[in-house]
Amino acid sequence: MEEKKALVISRGKTNSLELNHDQSEFALLLKEIGYSVISYFSQDIENIDKNTYLGSGKIAEIAYYYHQYNEQNPEEPIDIIACNFELTGLQKKAIEAITKAEIIDRTFVILNIFEKNAKTKEAKLQVEIARLEYLKNHLVDEKASYSQVTSGSGHNKGKGEKQIELSKRQISKAVLQKKKELEAIKLSRRNMRNKRINNPSPKICIVGYTNAGKSTLMNRLVKLSKEDKTVLEKNALFATLETSTRNISIFGYPTFFLTDTVGFISHLPIYLVDAFRSTLEEIKEADLLVQVIDLSDPFKEEEIETTKGIIKSLEADNIPMINIYNKY
């Protein structure tokens, strides 16, 4: 399938290491959903503009470039403008109005990758819940200006506001139903975990940045254990979206449980942090954490800090951790 073309907008200081890292990472995310990056634009701002996120002048500059490029390249135009941050519904509408282009944000991109890679019922439910929560928040924002114009005073709400409330209730109802389905799966996972907790064998969790090589390490140990239950191993972001646990028994060494976990990434949307918290619960019950680090990545130190931050948010930072360096 031929890749489509994207123009990327980021927030940060031009040519800074942090911005270069963020842009490179976002380009990889976009590649996962079929886009190659044509150009990068950025602005170093202290405060986010409530209407256009970046300054309206910068958005106008981007709009000019977008249309000029497409006029000069009608056979291979820029298909979308991708924002390397999360937009509100109103910000998305405002940028679309200025640029006359299709706008997507970072959360939209990550949700699409997760949706593409979800294989188990649990992972699919978690992605659906995250997408519905994202839609609910953006639906309210996108309709807000219309609601303010059409709504009445007192208890006489306008058509726009009534439609927002109806849509919001419908989405909330769908989320509640899917959470009930997910809870049943979580209960089954919890029971399996309790059995392992009562087992004297040590419990080790592999953690780290997405695409660092966690599943590769898991499969090498599974094969040494002469087992055939390997996990998906793919050179792609978020190839693994669920935890997998194997009983590793290698001759001459103590037997232990080994768990492969979902890969981490910076600025993970809050919708997905909450949705995948249940799959990360395994980390809290480990006796040892093994962090796999891509030694070839120039931004490995930032990725190590991201991993540590997520582990701390799970209240698992008291568990001993060792580092394994990969891809050197």
Distance CA 71, CA 83 (A): 22
pLDDT of residue 151: 38
Q: Report d(CA 186, CA 110) in Å as an integer.
A: 23
Q: What is the mean pLDDT of residues 292-305?
A: 87
User: Dihedral sign, CA of 62, 67, 73, 77?
Assistant: positive
Q: Which residues pair with 323 in a beta bridge?
A: 291
pLDDT exceeds 50 at position 295 = yes
For 320, other C-beta atoms within 10 Å of its C-beta total 9
pLDDT for residue 70: 97
- Nearest-angstrom CA–CA distance, 171 and 165: 10
Nearest to 238, CA basis, from 95, 29, 86, 83: 29
β-pair partners for 264: 209
Gap between the Cα atoms of 270 and 268, Å rounded: 6
Dihedrals phi, psi of 254, to nearest 5 degrees: -65, 145
pLDDT of residue 50: 92
C-alpha span between 64 and 81 (Å, rounded): 13
Burial 250-266 (b: 16+ CB within 10 A, else e): eeeeeebbbbbbbbbbb
What's the pTM? 0.76
Cβ distance 280 to 262 under 8 Å? Answer: yes
Residues composing the chain = 328
Helix axes 121-150, 106-117, angle to 10 degrees: 150
For the chain, the first-to-last Cα distance in angstroms comes to: 32
Q: CA of 246: how far to CAs of 32, 97, 222, 255, 265, in Å?
A: 28, 52, 7, 11, 24
Structure tokens at 128: 């659906």
Q: Take residue 93 and report the two structure tokens written for it.
A: 């509408």
Mean pLDDT of the chain: 83
For residue range 144-189, what is the model confidence (pLDDT) as tens digits? Answer: 443 333 334 444 455 556 677 778 888 889 999 998 998 888 777 6
What is the distance between the alpha carbons of residues 107 and 260, in angstroms, rounded to a whole number? Answer: 24
Q: For residue 302, what pLDDT is reported? A: 84
Name, in order, each residue with C-beta under 8 angstroms of 202's C-beta and a sequence gap of 6 or more. 254, 256, 257, 287, 288
Question: How far is the C-alpha of 65 from the C-alpha of 70, rounded, in Å?
Answer: 8
Round to whole Å and give the CA distance between 186 and 183. Answer: 5
- pLDDT by residue (tens digit) across 221-276? 888 887 667 665 555 556 555 677 888 898 888 899 998 887 777 777 777 776 66
Identify the pLDDT of residue 278: 62
Q: Which pairs count as long-range contacts for 92-95, CB under 8 Å and 24+ apart, including other chains?
A: 92/138, 92/142, 93/142, 93/145, 94/51, 94/52, 95/52, 95/53, 95/59
- By C-alpha distance, which of 64, 43, 39 is closest to 55? 43
Q: What is the pLDDT of residue 116?
A: 82
Q: How confident is the model at residue 283 (pLDDT cuts 50, 70, 90)?
A: confident
**Residue 217 is encoded by which pair of tokens?**
């390490």
Mean pLDDT within 128-157: 60
**Sheet holding 321-326: strands in order across?**
244-248, 256-260, 203-208, 288-294, 321-326
